[in-house]
Amino acid sequence: MNWKDIYKDRLVSAKEAVSNIKSGSRVVIGHAVGEPLALVDALVENKKYYDNLEIVHMVAMGKSEYVKPGMEKYFRHNALFVGNSTREAVNSGRADYTPGFFYEVPRLFKEGYLPVDVALIQVSVPDKHGYCSFGVSNDYTKPAADNAKLVIAEVNENMPRTLGDSFIHVSDIDYIVEASHPLIELQPSKIGDVEKAIGKYCASLIEDGSTLQLGIGAIPDAVLLFLKDKKDLGIHSEMISDGVVELVNDGVITNKKKAFHNGKIVVTFLMGTKKLYDFVNDNPMVESYPVSFVNDPETIMKNNDMISINSCIQVDLMGQICSESIGIKQISGVGGQVDFIRGTSMAKNGKAIIAMPSTAAKGKVSRIVPILDEGAAVTTSRNDVDYIITEYGIAHLKGKTLRDRAKDLIDIAHPDFREYLSEELKKRFR
């Protein structure tokens, strides 16, 4: 059978597709803005036929109805990252969180830790050879499909076609459901004075020809504002957002000085608006690979002048970084933070930056603290930490004693908390 006949043969409604999922199965849902919305809606609608269906997902950008109160009979959510729509469920015990480095998630699927029964994915329409692209979410989504017993794909005409190792052939999909809804969009963040000050300090460490990894949110967006005068920047990043498109159009990001994948933006997922999705569509400058490749520290280290910029919730005076919980309350997850801090630190002339406002909760608490809150997770250890940046400056901790780290961190704390932190410092180092 040629691929067009296979496609027609496997084309079903969303309802029919999800009726093939058996109770007790582990279902992995396509990541972030790549979530197959019609399939997830159909899954939730079909709930009375399921008992104890495990839903594995990471950044959940959809409605996440499967974690709502009352759904426990049908679904159990295993979160690989906690976000707005799943936080309450995880912290109240209706869902679970599994910690782990992002680059290792495909191993969990492949090596028997989390065998995948069903992959629910969203892909582009097939090309003339019958290949659909994973588009905005390659990350763990392609590895989930590669390792699943059953692959159900939503083929969306709005999914861009990203190049790289980002394809699945129609013959490897068991059920196909057609959709034409717009992709989920993430609007650019509001950037205030604090973020601008942080962005400026971060940009001061970025030399012409550097390769960047940027996370999501106001701080990475603010950094991009201060890069307009730089030359020949490159991108090797877990994800990119709209700001990168502007810098490509302005000729700032050329990828020409990249030591690895020269000339290419390398990513594993995308999160932005239609502007970004149109930019990446069939664009030979952009290559998408599974997260097991992009985020592997051994891949990242092949870039020269690598700069990673991520954020956190708390830093203690030793430089231990908590990025994912407030005390025992799970706020997010490790994501690719440690993958990039390690890979960047191993790269020639790499700089691994953690950038954060000096305070949280409307200025009431300092993010620089003597001791992390009880129960807080150490996301990045004091052995891995490199640069910390707040709106008050830059603390370069690598290679420094605990005493000097503490002093440098107090210098970039909010002035309202410096005296208190200094008193705490004296208790530890007389």
Q: Which is nearer to ligand COA, 156 or 344 (CB)?
A: 344
| Active site (catalytic) residues | 238
User: How far is the first Cα of the chain from the last one, in angstroms, to the nearest whole number?
Assistant: 78
Does residue 1 belong to the site contacting ligand COA (CB under 6 A)?
no
Q: Which is nearer to ligand COA, 323 or 344 (CB)?
A: 323
Q: Which amino acid is at 387?
A: Y
Q: What angle do CA 188, 252, 190 make, to 5 degrees?
A: 15
**What are the phi and psi torsion angles at 249 (to 5°)?**
-65, -30
Strands annotated E in 249-350: 265-270, 286-288, 306-310, 314-316, 321-322, 325-326, 329-330
What gap in Å lies between CA 117 and CA 232, rounded to an integer?
Answer: 44
Residues with Cβ within 8 Å of 19's Cβ and at least 6 positions away in sequence, in order, are 46, 49
What gap in Å lies between CA 375 and CA 324, rounded to an integer?
Answer: 11
Single out the segment in contact with ligand COA by CB under 6 A; choices: 44-52, 142-150, 256-264, 327-335.
327-335
Q: Which is nearer to ligand COA, 153 or 317 (CB)?
A: 317
What gap in Å lies between CA 387 and CA 389, rounded to an integer?
Answer: 7
Q: What angle do CA 364, 309, 425 make, to 5 degrees?
A: 45
Does residue 384 belong to the site contacting ligand COA (CB under 6 A)?
no
The binder of ligand COA chosen from 166, 241, 337, 345 (CB under 6 A): 337
Binding mask 232-271 for ligand COA (x = CB under 6 A): ------xx--------------------------------
Q: Answer whether 311's CB lies under 8 Å from 215's CB.
A: yes
Scan residues 286-315 and list those touching ligand COA (CB under 6 A). 310-314
- How many residues belong to the site for ligand COA (CB under 6 A)? 22
Does residue 323 belong to the site contacting ligand COA (CB under 6 A)?
yes
Does residue 325 belong to the site contacting ligand COA (CB under 6 A)?
no
Query: Of 342, 349, 340, whose CA–CA distance to 259 is shortest?
Result: 349
Does residue 285 belong to the site contacting ligand COA (CB under 6 A)?
no
Does residue 87 belong to the site contacting ligand COA (CB under 6 A)?
no
Does residue 34 belong to the site contacting ligand COA (CB under 6 A)?
no
Does residue 64 belong to the site contacting ligand COA (CB under 6 A)?
no
Binding site for ligand COA (CB under 6 A): 215-217, 238-239, 310-314, 323-324, 326, 331-332, 335-337, 360-361, 365, 367
